Amino acid sequence: MTAPLPTPVPFGARLRAAMDTRGPLCVGIDPHATLLAEWGLDDTVAGLERFTRTTVEALADRVAVLKPQSAFFERFGSRGIAVLEKAVEEARAAGALVLMDAKRGDIGSTMAAYAATYLDPASPLFSDAVTVSPYLGFGSLRPALDAAAAAGSGVFVLALTSNPEGAEVQRATAADGRSLAQLMLDHIAAENAGAAPLGSVGAVVGATLGDAGVDLGINGPLLAPGIGAQGATPEDLPRVFGAAVSSVLPSVSRGVLRAGPDVSALRAAATRFTTATRAALPAA
């Protein structure tokens, strides 16, 4: 008789441990053409591979989370996806959690296919978590939520993003008077009910918002993009996130990546942000 497979450790627990030991920091891997040029690299698959491998080598053994932006790999077709697959494999092998920034959102079998791409352990793009868009209705995310729970992975749901255009949708009022962002946050909180030390369904809430103006008590991680080049600082986080600040995972991309291509400089930049976020955030 075949022994049952061990139950995977939930993403929320693994993320809490990584943040506590490595520091509360997520570094994006965003190989857009301008940044490649700043590194002295061509906007080619070879440049993409050099950029990505250098970033993973520099950071995967020390930061809590690496967040590759899938679009910057997809633009090179199958060869770019091959670079992304290798980056995911090598980053996870070095101990970083990988959050795939894909922002997928669809319904039914299509959403299930996206879930299989990023949340099935048999997939070459299997990641510790993935970003998703809920604005076809939170229920449309069910295939991803269920796949993540089965694999011990996480899902980060767009709630209040850092781009100014997002407000026209996210601040709109639902039929019961809640903003759509608050409605999504409440759905997330329900998914995380009873989880400890941290739920595995997170929300994306921009660090540039000033006052979020919503209840962020979701019992899950709050991915906070906008640190660094977009103008937010770690010192802004307590004001934006209030009582939920201990669950914040600040995300920085260009603020670290522009230190490359020197590995030691990349590490030093990440250390500066980690130190600053440790100082700004209370212990969980």
Number of helical H runs and strand E runs in the chain: 12, 8
User: From CA 81, how far away is CA 168, in angstroms rounded?
Assistant: 33
Catalytic residue among 53, 62, 92, 103: 103
User: From CA 182, how far away is CA 216, in angstroms rounded?
Assistant: 8
Distances in whole angstroms, Cα of residue 114 to Cα of each of 41, 59, 135, 143, 169: 31, 27, 16, 9, 23
Phi, psi of 103 (to 5 degrees): 50, 45
User: From CA 199, how far away is CA 189, in angstroms rounded?
Assistant: 9
Q: Encoding tokens for residue 103? A: 């922002």
Q: How many residues in total does the chain contain?
A: 284
Q: Are 266 and 54 in contact (CB under 8 A)?
A: yes
Q: Sign of the CA dihedral 162, 104, 145, 181? A: positive
Active site residue 67: no
- Single out the residue of 259, 162, 155, 263 nearest to residue 205, CA to CA: 162
The 8-class DSSP code of residue 200 comes to S
R_g (Cα) of the chain, nearest Å: 18
Q: Strand, helix or coil at 274?
A: helix
Place of tokens 């130190």: 275
Mind telling me the catalytic residues?
Answer: 103
